[in-house]
Amino acid sequence: MPSNKLTPSYLFALLLIAKSTAVSANEMVAIANEIQVRAEKVSDTKPVKGYQAKRSVTATKTDTPLLNVPQSVTVITRDQMQDSAVQSIGDAIRYVPGITLSQGEGNRDAINFRGVGVTTGDFFLDGVRDDIETYRDLYNIDRVEVLKGPNGLIFGRGAAGGAINRVSKEAGWDPVREVQVSYGAYNQKRSSFDYGQAINDTAAFRINAVYENSDSYRNGVNIERYGFNPTVTLLPTERTKVTLGFEYFKDMRIGDRGVPSLKSGSDDLDNRPYKIRDYQTFYGSYRHSDNQTETYGLNALFEHDFNDQIKLRNRTRYADYDKYYENVYAAGSVHADGSFKIGAYDMSTQRRNFINQTDVIFKFDSLGISHELLLGTEFNKQLTDNLRSISQFNTYNSSAETLSSSFNLNIANTLSDRDFVFNKPLRHVKSNVNIFAFYLQDQIQFNPYLSAILGIRQDRFQNDMDRTDWSNSGASPFSSNRTEFLTSPRASLIFKPVPEMSIYAAYSLSYVPRAGDQLVSLTSKIDGLKPEKFTNREIGVKYDITPDLNVSLAAYILQRENVLANSPSNPAQAILVNGTETKGYELSLAGKVTNNWSVFGGYAYQDAEVSEDQSSGTILKGTRVGQTPKNTLSLWNRYDFNEAWGAALGVVSRSAMYALTPVVDPNDSTKSASTILPGYTRYDAAVFWKPEKNTRVQLNIENLTNKDYALSAHNNNNILPGSPITARLNVIYNF
């Protein structure tokens, strides 16, 4: 209910009214209440309020309150990202329950959703696929949406355990003028620029830019990146909106594969990271671990409201990606004598994406039931050229230098530039993927208490691929022209006993074709096999404790089927088996507890196990899935003491997990061979100072207690140590 308390702004408005017309005190209060009610209604239509997200277009492809979305969705808002000094996807998901950061071989974002496997392809920009293997900056991003569970109807192929969607900053008519400069430990230097304003009543522009040149707590590791993103918004008519944008971004860094594991005996099994406290040592060669990605992107959005019942929306994205990286890294565990195996390869990928989505939304009533019907199509063309070469290592003897495919190094020594050369082609893949999809969804409102979402998507996935693999016996060419039809249904029921609460039950399905996340995994051995299948059953409760604070609880069972395994009778033949099953629940909290206290975080429990013996019995039913901790807990708190000063405290905790799904110990079938990443608890903090209206200064400190821990892993011998205590000073100026 609106309050009768008159704020200064209301009093000022009422005084102007009273000056020109004679009104009573009660009439003045009534006018004030009406103003407040209208303001609250306007506020409710905004997608974000502080740390709390109110609405999303991504989860249903319609503008829907998150309270009415029958799915676990976490939104990292701009305020939360700024307060916790977020700059990357890895930073952004730190306080998100139910997902785990993977190392990605030190050259890309990689996420594990609900224990169904690490993905590098389920990244989206404004709902459109953005799947090159790279690190994504957030300088031009308004918020990050994490959608958990299979999302086949919304995103098409992939999105098996979840998806991450970045929502771009957009040109508008409110002026934006902001400069940020930050400096931190290990010579971290970064600056960004955000400027936008109206051109006239029907046009506005905005430009975001960033430059970073930073070193690292890891020896030899550094990063340089820069990018700019101009956008224009046009209003040709009162019912038409056009948004155009271009982005150029370049990321250059040293690929960091971390530390190896410690060999635990004569059977070459691994059980723990090697010297995680020695976080500086680079195992391999940072001089030959160069990583570069260059991106050109063009984006267009067209929206037209024919009337209050019919809306047309079209999104188009063209992206040109050019990526190259090489790396020299630990390919085996450290032996008792200090020796370990070195591996090296390089890879280049060129990708061209053209994606066009068209949605038509109809709102109508029939027999007293309200419908919001979505009809959509998507055309997706992706051209990929991928080449991978492995190194040849020099071996020395008294008579000559020869080349070998393996090399052992002692931890006391360093690798010389003359020890290896990237000269042996391993694989060359060219793929031409064409996708056409049609989808239908109906959001049905039976009455104020009961609603449903029903939908289905049909994808025609065609992949023309030419592949050549090289071995000691020579080249092995392979070609495939494969077409798959992927059907992804979605069904859910939502009950709202009160307007502030929703209780839902949901079912969804997704597929990952045999070409894999990056469209280059198809071989003659697996050509013709069914795609992987992911099924999610979820129930949940969402509750707005207050208009500014939301809590949500979800429980789910996520099953992965059609997983590749070697045939027990013929190891050269691939078969399909049931894969994994994850049972879990998640609790999330976001918003304001009081006017001065904001929170963001949650808890997740994940019980992920192998559901059938795999790989000729080397992975057994009941084995815990790698990179999936049973328990994760995170909570970020900010408290404002007054208008000038504030402080924040964050905690991130994770239980132990395997670096990889364990295989059977060949010497003892009761034991498993995999590196265990110990659990840890880390504390972060920040202090905020606003000396005057347009200036903000903040100091962020990460890992307050200087905890030694393993942050992420790619496999048993590529484990990234977490950063020691680190501080970063950030100055934000609005002009």
Tokens 């050259």 identify what position? 107
Residue 618: predicted pLDDT: 78
Tokens 């051109």 identify what position? 199
Where would I find the beta strands (DSSP E) of 264-338? 270-273, 290-305, 310-330
Residue 665: predicted pLDDT: 63
Q: How many CB atoms lie within 10 A of CB 370?
A: 14
When pLDDT is averaged across residues 640-646 and rounded to a whole number, the result is: 97
Distance separating alpha carbons of residues 86 and 78, to the nearest angstrom = 9
pLDDT tens digits along 474-496: 899 999 999 999 999 999 999 99
pLDDT grade for 617, boundaries at 50, 70 and 90 = low
Phi-psi region of 67 (alpha: psi -120 to 50; beta: other; left: phi over 0): alpha
Residue 132: predicted pLDDT: 95
Highest mean pLDDT out of 324-328, 428-432, 470-474, 673-677? 428-432
With CA atoms as reference, report the closest residue to 246 among 262, 223, 230: 230
Q: Are 158 and 534 in contact (CB under 8 A)?
A: no
Residue 399: predicted pLDDT: 43
pLDDT grade for 673, boundaries at 50, 70 and 90 = confident
Q: Are 185 and 192 in contact (CB under 8 A)?
A: no
Distance separating alpha carbons of residues 618 and 621, to the nearest angstrom = 10
- Name residue 330's beta-bridge partners: 342
Q: Is the pLDDT of residue 403 over 80?
A: no
Q: Are 255 and 325 in contact (CB under 8 A)?
A: yes
Q: Report the SS3 class of residue 630.
A: coil
Distance separating alpha carbons of residues 673 and 607, to the nearest angstrom = 19
pLDDT grade for 4, boundaries at 50, 70 and 90 = very low
Distance separating alpha carbons of residues 726 and 184, to the nearest angstrom = 7
- Beta carbons within 8 Å of 41's beta carbon, 6+ residues apart: none
Six-digit token string for 603: 């808890």
Q: What percent of the chain has pLDDT over 90?
A: 75
With CA atoms as reference, report the closest residue to 36 among 66, 65, 11, 67: 11
Q: Is the pLDDT of residue 394 over 70?
A: no
The torsion angles phi and psi of 658, rounded to 5 degrees, stand at -80, 145
Helix (H) or strand (E) holding 617: none
Of the options 2.40.170.20, 2.40.100.10, 3.40.30.10, 3.30.9.10, the CATH number for the domain spanning 168-217+229-470+489-734: 2.40.170.20
pLDDT grade for 576, boundaries at 50, 70 and 90 = confident
With CA atoms as reference, report the closest residue to 109 among 93, 85, 98, 95: 93
Query: Which long-range CB contacts under 8 A does 622-626 form with residues at least 24 apart?
Result: 623/661, 623/662, 623/672, 624/658, 624/661, 624/662, 625/115, 625/580, 625/582, 625/658, 625/661, 626/657, 626/658, 626/659, 626/660, 626/661, 626/662, 626/674
Q: Could you state, in order of their start, the residue ranges of all structural domains in the chain?
A: 1-44, 168-217+229-470+489-734
In this structure, of 276-290, 507-521, 641-655, the range with the lowest mean pLDDT score is 276-290
pLDDT tens digits along 433-451: 999 999 999 999 999 999 9
pLDDT grade for 565, boundaries at 50, 70 and 90 = confident
Helix (H) or strand (E) holding 143: strand 141-148
The C-alpha angle 226, 56, 556, rounded to 5 degrees, equals 105
Q: Are 219 and 286 in contact (CB under 8 A)?
A: yes
Q: Are 467 and 428 in contact (CB under 8 A)?
A: yes
The torsion angles phi and psi of 19, rounded to 5 degrees, stand at -70, -35
Q: Report the SS3 class of residue 198.
A: strand
Of 202 and 8, the one with more pLDDT = 202
Residue 568: predicted pLDDT: 67
pLDDT tens digits along 410-426: 877 777 665 667 778 99
Residue 397: predicted pLDDT: 44
The C-alpha angle 250, 314, 491, rounded to 5 degrees, equals 100
Rg (CA), the chain: 27
Tokens 């808890």 identify what position? 603
pLDDT tens digits along 51-110: 999 999 999 999 999 999 999 999 999 999 999 999 999 999 999 998 999 999 999 999
Distance separating alpha carbons of residues 342 and 296, to the nearest angstrom = 35
Q: Report how far apart the first and last C-alpha atoms of the chain are (Å, whole number).
A: 37
Tokens 């009660």 identify what position? 26
Highest mean pLDDT out of 262-276, 539-553, 654-668? 539-553
Highest mean pLDDT out of 27-31, 380-384, 660-664? 380-384
